[in-house]
Amino acid sequence: MSTTPYVPPKVWTWDAANGGQFANINRPIAGATHDKELPRGKHGFQLYSLATPNGQKVSILFEELLEAGYAAEYDAWLINIGKGDQFGSGFVGVNPNSKIPGLLDLTGAEPVRLFESGSMLVHLADKFGAFLPASGPDRTEVMNWLFWQMGSAPFVGGGFGHFFAYAPEKFEYPINRYAMETKRQLDVLDRRLAEVPFIAGADYSIADMAIWPWYGSMVLGRSYANSAEFLDVGIYKNLKRWADVIEARPAVKRGRIVNKNWGDEAEQVPERHGPEDFAGKAV
């Protein structure tokens, strides 16, 4: 481990070899690196994703819509970020930020592209009139928590997760800094869930679907190797109660393994084109 203090240069330059586990997919410029068209299936919604926390949000919502009887059938195509699929020209055309997920809504007169998971959740919830109140204070409260997640989770993933699990060297300062912030966020949720059964109040909503893949997974011991013990997640009793309730939902069991291509094969559905793709899976 280096003990020499880092002195920033006057002008930063890119060192492609530095950056840890995901250095090969990080770069300081945007745009496509190669030509590659995206596949399309037979359904009105085409999801291009990976079962990271951000990816799980949207597939969970699709599965919840289907579970509730809405005509929300979708094709889900794997975007392997380790291989750079997110830099293909087709994907960049849907999401110029080259981050999963990307979504095409082909149900109208003109195709609609969507990028950023929060935008997708609101678009789909409004389109089907489900899991998001149409107006008033209840809608605002869902939006409060949805945008809380969008703004807070980067400190968990890009901060704590990176320095605790993925950085090439471990340093006390960034791990302590982001562990403190992650625990503060867990406490925010735990206090909220001492008051209400679901994040935005009495009803299950897209706020729960956005927050559960990040923070529910943490208290269930699925995020960043050994982090559950390190962060002492057992103290967040209300958050754990909520995480267990959400995990038990059939649509969540399905949605969280869509576009997953690692781990237990019973929890892998790399592509999803219909309910038959869950046959034999742990759902």
DSSP state of 135: S
Residue-wise pLDDT for 67-93, tens only, equals 999 999 999 999 999 999 999 999 999
Q: What is the pLDDT of residue 17?
A: 67
Residue-wise pLDDT for 220-267, tens only, equals 999 998 899 999 999 999 999 999 999 999 999 999 999 999 999 999
Paired tokens of 33: 């690196």
Q: What is the pLDDT of residue 16?
A: 72
Are the CB atoms for 162 and 143 separated by under 8 Å? Answer: no
Paired tokens of 166: 């993925």
Residue-wise pLDDT for 205-223, tens only, equals 999 999 999 999 999 999 9
Residue-wise pLDDT for 123-151, tens only, equals 999 999 999 999 999 999 999 999 999 99
Paired tokens of 49: 């994703």
Are the CB atoms for 105 and 45 separated by under 8 Å? Answer: yes
Are the CB atoms for 268 and 87 separated by under 8 Å? Answer: no
Are the CB atoms for 106 and 46 separated by under 8 Å? Answer: yes
Q: What is the pLDDT of residue 194?
A: 98
Helix H, strand E, coil C: the string for 117-129 is HHHHHHHHHHHHC
Q: What is the pLDDT of residue 7?
A: 94
Residue-wise pLDDT for 6-60, tens only, equals 899 999 998 876 666 776 788 899 999 999 999 999 999 999 999 999 999 999 9
Are the CB atoms for 75 and 46 separated by under 8 Å? Answer: yes
The Cα–Cα gap between 28 and 17 comes to: 13
Residue 3 pLDDT more than 80?
no
Look at residue 46 and give its three-state secondary structure.
strand
Q: What is the pLDDT of residue 18?
A: 65
Q: What is the pLDDT of residue 19?
A: 61
Please tell me the pTM assigned to this model: 0.96
Residue-wise pLDDT for 86-123, tens only, equals 999 999 999 999 999 999 999 999 999 999 999 999 99
